[in-house]
Amino acid sequence: MNSIERHDPVEGVLRLSAHEMATLMLLRAAPIDANQATPDVRALRKAGLAKLVESDIGNLQFVISANGNAVLRALEAG
């Protein structure tokens, strides 16, 4: 699986594109099959906002992580 290199000028600062934010919201609503993952999904995984899990029927899926949920909650509270 390819990974996306992120080079943020400030260490520890999370920067997400509009597409990554939209993908994070989609992941909150439903998992995304690993075979259909976009570079945005892989970038979210690298940032720790999504994770790869095995479904009940054995398929690999990306789902939102606890950190991903925390980001969305923080944005809602803002």
Over residues 17-54, the pLDDT tens digits come to 999 999 999 999 999 999 999 999 999 999 999 999 99
Residue 77 is predicted with a pLDDT of 86
CA dist., res. 10 & res. 45, Å (int): 20
Q: How many CA atoms lie within 13 A of 29 on its CB side?
A: 6
CATH number at residue 40: 1.10.10.10
* Inside any domain, residue 60: yes
Q: What is the pTM of this model?
A: 0.80
Domain limits at 51? 18-77
- The number of domains in the chain is 1
Burial of 69 (0-12, 13-18, 19+ CB in 10 A): middle
- Residue 13's pLDDT band (boundaries 50, 70, 90)? confident
Residue 8 belongs to some domain of the structure:
no
Q: Could you tell me the two tokens for 48?
A: 């720790």
